[in-house]
């Protein structure tokens, strides 16, 4: 668990890190941390993630209601759905890389299989490159309840990884703490980029 001051600093830092990689263009992306009092620290709506300040993080309750008068990201509901589904999750990140969005638009179906990557070992519970996982893809919607209903049952299936793509939108990844969430996002983004690079040589 984490106090708000620590979570706020983590959110500012991760915003700059993701923006530096080109994974948070314009004001896209949103980040959150589970707090030790049962509330959640989240990014304020409409802020550029590469220029976040401590004032750009806020607290919401388990229903997504603001606890300090600020307006949370519209996608806060998707973060809270993950915290409800996985009580051990401590942080959730949402990136918008061109590679992830491009892959989600280029492939059909409700998932993409990642096989044989050394980087798979960065995901929790995977100890060898000799593995295959499915990165789920859910259709985009302006209604967060529709996305939640479409993806959460799949995330609860055996062998599910802590990440999913929203088609034409971006990547969600999460972990027990911010460091693990960062590792998941970076590993998935790297594997997506590698897959697209491989396709370019075919």
- Binding-site residues for Zn(2+) sit at 94, 96
Helices (H) and strands (E) in the chain, counts: 5, 8
CA neighbours within 13 Å on the CB side: how many for 78?
30
3-class SS shares of the chain: helix, strand, coil, % to 5: 40, 20, 35
The two three-digit tokens of residue 60, written as one number: 């919401």
- Vertex 148 angle, CA 142 and 153, to 5°: 150
CA 156 to chain centre: 16
Q: Which residues are annotated as a binding site?
A: 94, 96
Strands (E), 86-184: 91-95, 111-115, 132-138, 163-166, 170-175
Distance (Å, whole) CA 100 – CA 177: 23
Q: Which of 126, 129, 121, 117 is nearest to 192 (CA)?
A: 117
């Amino acid at each position: 668990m984490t106090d708000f001051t620590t979570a706020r600093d983590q959110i500012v830092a991760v915003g700059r890190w993701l923006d530096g990689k080109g994974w948070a263009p314009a004001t896209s992306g949103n980040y959150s941390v589970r707090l030790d009092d049962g509330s959640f620290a989240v990014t304020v709506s409409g802020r550029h993630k590469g220029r976040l300040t401590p004032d750009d993080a806020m607290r919401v309750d388990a229903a997504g209601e603001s606890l300090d008068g600020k307006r949370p990201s519209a996608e806060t509901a998707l973060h809270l759905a993950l915290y409800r589904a996985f009580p051990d999750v401590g942080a959730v990140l949402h990136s918008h890389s061109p590679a992830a969005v491009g892959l989600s638009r280029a492939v059909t179906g409700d998932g993409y299989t990642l096989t044989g990557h050394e980087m798979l070992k960065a995901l929790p519970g995977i100890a060898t490159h000799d593995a295959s996982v499915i990165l789920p893809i859910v259709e985009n919607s302006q209604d967060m309840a529709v996305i939640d209903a479409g993806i959460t049952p799949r995330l609860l299936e055996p062998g599910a990884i802590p990440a999913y793509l929203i088609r034409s939108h971006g990547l969600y990844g999460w972990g027990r703490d911010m460091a693990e969430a960062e590792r998941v996002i970076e590993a998935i983004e790297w594997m997506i980029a590698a897959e697209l690079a491989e396709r370019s040589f075919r």
